Chain A
């Protein structure tokens, strides 16, 4: 509400983040030379992509090459978590680990990550990827945020 009150949580609900000072001098953000920057000897634009779709009820992860051709799909449901357990950060982390091991098996060790949605698996999935041994180069948010909501969304739930 007002500035003197505690801040609302950002990102994933329930995961409280604190202020981190960031340095703009350390190549933290992309610039015009970014597509040609080398990571493990590969151009940034040619790196494989790991897409994470974090919905409230599930986390779906796909691994594709730089052209967008999907090689592996994995989700919390496929991982063995069923029903409500699909929408937890633990499930997302386990999914990330499995996807990372399989991806390394087909030679995709260094990836760039895109995340969509504000589900509980948003950060846990990326964490799982690194725990599985993948090298995450960059994190991109591609959550579709409409400023003009069209078509008109569903009506609010009655409580």
Chain B
């Protein structure tokens, strides 16, 4: 009891005694950004929710009616959409995993001192800086093209890379662009390792592989997770590469959700269905994002404790 009585007043009480005017003064700098974000991103989403309950094809003006969850039923039973969902998972996972592996290898290479390290790092981040649509066009026409593309030009053969291996062609382009991103995150992770501890392990007789497996990889785990999750957030939205390299084809081999929703909106003009598909994408993203937030806040704790 005495313990409770002598405990100093907790901080939140102090916060509450602050006058409401002062609280608003504190909030004032935050409000413009907050209001802007709510108006431009949240209100449209509420409208999307509403539109998803409407049977509305823009080609039949005037015929708009409440259809309840029909659009969701249509969308979820539609084989095209299921294919798009699968393709999204495959393209995103493929691009994230391969760019993470390559990024890790390159980060390890760059973590050593050698002549011209700064230049090599600049070279390696360059693919990430090329405009995505320009990169997609470049790969499609200058690299994959069966007659004058670079691959067939250097190694012979007349393979039409895009139509023979559409998914791999899209993934390779994405991997090329996103490996630098992964490399930078993992390099930051490697460089935050304590050199004394590693030196101590080496003195104790640990070989390079043991150090890598037992010390570096556990240390990098959070950075790998962060790279995977941020990469997924960006790559789930992949539109440029699909639009340019394959147009979602052949058939629906590379149609991912963003591209499918785009087609539903601007080719079929099924606004209701497109909205329902959009809502489903948001729900899926929220699931992924929940994990992402957990990892990111974990990483912030690590940074704060250092």
Partners in one complex: no
